[in-house]
Amino acid sequence: MNSTTANWQTAFFNQLVLKGCVVERISIASAMLWQIESRDWQLFAEQGLEEQLRWVAGWAEHNQSQFLVNACFEKQGLYLWLRTIITAEKPELPSQATVYPAASRSERHTRDMFGIEFIGHPDDRRWTRHKAWSENSYPLRKDFPVQGTPDHITPPDMDYPFVKSHGTGVYEIPVGPVHAGIIEPGHFRFQAVGELILNLEERLGYVHKGIEKIAEGRVPVSLARLAGRISGDTTVGHAWAACMAMEQAAGISIPPRAAFLRGILAERERVANHLGDMGAICNDVAFIFAQMQFTRIRELWLRTNAQLFGHRLLMDRIIPGGVACDLTDTGCALIRQDIVRLRNELADILMAVDLNSTLEDRLYTAGYLAPELAAAYGAVGYVGRASGQRFDVRKDAPYAPYDQISFKVAVEAQGDIASRFWVRNKEINSALKLIEKFIDLLPPGDIMTAWREPLAGSESLAAVEGWRGEIVSYVRFEADNKIARFYSRDPSIINWPALEKLVLDNIVPDFPVCNKSLNGSYSGNDL
């Protein structure tokens, strides 16, 4: 990340000082950390919104008698990392969710996991906690044992207070956690009149696996493996973000060849997932021809992954210090051939898709997410970019190898399912070009830098553009090369709330395709 203080940061700093906010600026490995008093937490958010900062992430950390509460913001590709320290005796601070709706679930998660109260939070219901631990115990406090004290059978979460609606003809549809398809578990509560969706509430947390807790005490290689399993479809993205944060904290830089190989892996992951999603969107409107074609070319793509990199989904290819696999000249040639073939196939299939009127009927104007709403929620990735939000970490806060090439970020403006379909197609095209460029420029040399044990207390924040959008990872080391705290913000955490908005006024039968067009990760959200 860029650590220079750009103009808006200076002006913003002065603005805060004028408002009576005491800001201490601390330079850390990769970023500028601004530390403020807890009483100014909300004031900062208000000023930030005025300055048009995007809320990016929030997480906390327990350190003996204190809690460190962090938030991250972004504007024009510059990240601002905010921190305040509160005492463990009275763990409370004013909520930022009153200002930024995107901070809402994050603060609820922090409250469930640490017992930190965000005063004035508009929604006091629990979020990540169901019934696996009691109301007064907090898994991410250091004195909470990793094994916890679970019941033999964890009871179902029956008494979550969903929003109710009344009136003639209004009825409720509960769906999940176990769904009809092969998808992840989560609960959706609809209020509908006839077929029209009046309200949708998401209840997630079913696949909470304690990732943040079990990350503690791991060594870098083991954390990279875990990060690569936060969301299986984003194994490259998460492993990269976690490794980048660890490398920055340890002060090591990876060899240029490793950076280019990471770029190739990440773009291959993007292409594979977009192909899968485009097929699945077609499937949800019963256009099986396209589904079969997309799954077919996806399978070919995965087979090349297995042949060249040894894993169909590319798990564990990114490791601390570099990558675990190299590419030979023959490998590069094969990738090029594959790309040519894929382009031809896609051109054929998309022509057929584009001329199909059923698809047009179902996808255009459905699941509309207004650009203003996308901006208000800070929507990222293809969800943001289909509603006019341009931000792309690769472009706006570039890291190696993206800092060495130029490329166009695909944007669509209509905000409907069709936009989210076509923006994926554009992203595939740009990913294919990127892979070709990376191969052209692939520098010779090592693919690994030797690991150097970081000092106890070293920390860092890293951002990469996963296939779903921006991923932000935080790590802090303790002594002996061990992880003291790890947090990763999957793009789904940001995008899920947008689904509750974009389904409104759609019909219940269109929910699956609306959901697929956003395709949030449940696992990445629940951690």
Partner 1 sequence: MLRLLKKTLLTGIVTEKIKAPTNDELEQLGIEIKRHIDKKFSGSIAIREVDAGSCNGCELEIHALNNPFYDIERFGIHLVASPRHADVLLVTGPVSRHMQTALLRTYEATPNPKWVVAAGDCAACGGEFGISYASCGAVSNVIPVDVVIPGCPPTPLALMKGLLGLMKN
User: Do 401 and 263 meet the contact criterion of CB atoms below 8 Å apart?
Assistant: yes
Ramachandran angles phi, psi of 395, nearest 5°: -95, -45
User: Do 506 and 366 meet the contact criterion of CB atoms below 8 Å apart?
Assistant: yes
Q: Which residue has the tokens 């009344």?
A: 166
Smallest gap from Cβ 179 to partner 1, in A, equals 9
Q: Which of 35, 63, 356, 425 binds partner 1 (CB under 8 A)?
A: 356
Binding partner at 295 among partner 1, ligand SF4, none, C-beta below 5 to 8 Å by kind: partner 1
340: Cβ contacts below 8 Å, ≥ 6 apart: none
Nearest residue to the partner ligand SF4, using Cβ = 229
Q: Which of 200, 285, 313, 464 binds partner 1 (CB under 8 A)?
A: 313
Smallest gap from Cβ 506 to partner 1, in A, equals 22
Measured distance CA(365)–CA(244) in Å, rounded: 39
Reduced to 3 states, what is the DSSP secondary structure of residue 412?
coil
Q: Nearer to partner 1 by C-beta: 101 or 232?
A: 232
Site pattern 359..398 for partner 1 (x: CB under 8 A):
----------------------------------------
Smallest gap from Cβ 20 to ligand SF4, in A, equals 49
Ramachandran angles phi, psi of 209, nearest 5°: -115, 10
Reduced to 3 states, what is the DSSP secondary structure of residue 162?
coil
Smallest gap from Cβ 17 to partner 1, in A, equals 43
Terminal CA-CA length for the chain: 25
Among the residue ranges 164-172, 285-293, 373-381, 420-428, the one whose residues contact partner 1 (CB under 8 A):
285-293
Measured distance CA(191)–CA(197) in Å, rounded: 6
Smallest gap from Cβ 416 to ligand SF4, in A, equals 32
Amino acid at 138: Y
Smallest gap from Cβ 127 to partner 1, in A, equals 12
Angstrom distances, CA of residue 402 to CA of 256, 263, 423, 435: 12, 8, 20, 11
Site pattern 139..168 for partner 1 (x: CB under 8 A):
x----xxxxxxx--xxxxx-----------
Q: Nearer to ligand SF4 by C-beta: 131 or 229?
A: 229
Smallest gap from Cβ 150 to ligand SF4, in A, equals 20
Site pattern 199..218 for partner 1 (x: CB under 8 A):
------xxxxxxx-xx----
229 binds ligand SF4 (CB under 6 A): yes
Q: Which two tokens stand for residue 54?
A: 């995007």
Burial of 381 (0-12, 13-18, 19+ CB in 10 A): buried
Q: Which two tokens stand for residue 57?
A: 């992430």
User: Do 256 and 449 meet the contact criterion of CB atoms below 8 Å apart?
Assistant: no
183 binds partner 1 (CB under 8 A): yes
Measured distance CA(74)–CA(81) in Å, rounded: 9
**Hey, how many other C-beta atoms are within 10 angstroms of the C-beta on 53?**
24
Q: Which two tokens stand for residue 81?
A: 């990392």
Q: Which residue has the tokens 């490791």?
A: 319
Smallest gap from Cβ 325 to partner 1, in A, equals 16
Q: Give the single-character DSSP code of 193.
A: E
Please state the separation of Cα 382 from the chain's center in Å: 12
Smallest gap from Cβ 210 to ligand SF4, in A, equals 14
Binding partner at 63 among ligand SF4, partner 1, none, C-beta below 5 to 8 Å by kind: none
Binding partner at 7 among partner 1, ligand SF4, none, C-beta below 5 to 8 Å by kind: none
Element at 485 (helix H, strand E): strand 483-489
Count of residues in contact with partner 1, rule CB under 8 A: 65
74 has which bridge partners?
Answer: 54, 79
Q: Which of 6, 193, 286, 292 binds partner 1 (CB under 8 A)?
A: 292
Q: Which of 77, 185, 210, 232 binds ligand SF4 (CB under 6 A)?
A: 232
Measured distance CA(486)–CA(220) in Å, rounded: 11
Q: Nearer to ligand SF4 by C-beta: 296 or 311?
A: 311
Residue 479: which region, alpha, beta or left (left: phi > 0; alpha: psi -120 to 50)? beta
Measured distance CA(41)–CA(450) in Å, rounded: 40
Element at 306 (helix H, strand E): helix 288-309
312 binds ligand SF4 (CB under 6 A): no
Q: Nearer to partner 1 by C-beta: 18 or 153?
A: 153
Site pattern 108..127 for ligand SF4 (x: CB under 6 A):
--------------------
Reduced to 3 states, what is the DSSP secondary structure of residue 522?
helix
Q: Which of 96, 293, 387, 488 binds partner 1 (CB under 8 A)?
A: 293
Q: Which of 231, 305, 458, 517 binds partner 1 (CB under 8 A)?
A: 231
Smallest gap from Cβ 229 to ligand SF4, in A, equals 4
Site residues (vs ligand SF4, CB under 6 A) = 229, 232
Contact positions vs partner 1 (CB under 8 A): 130-133, 139, 144-150, 153-157, 177-178, 180-185, 205-211, 213-214, 225-226, 229-233, 235, 276, 289, 292-293, 295-296, 298-299, 302, 306, 312-313, 315, 348-349, 351-352, 355-356, 521-523, 526
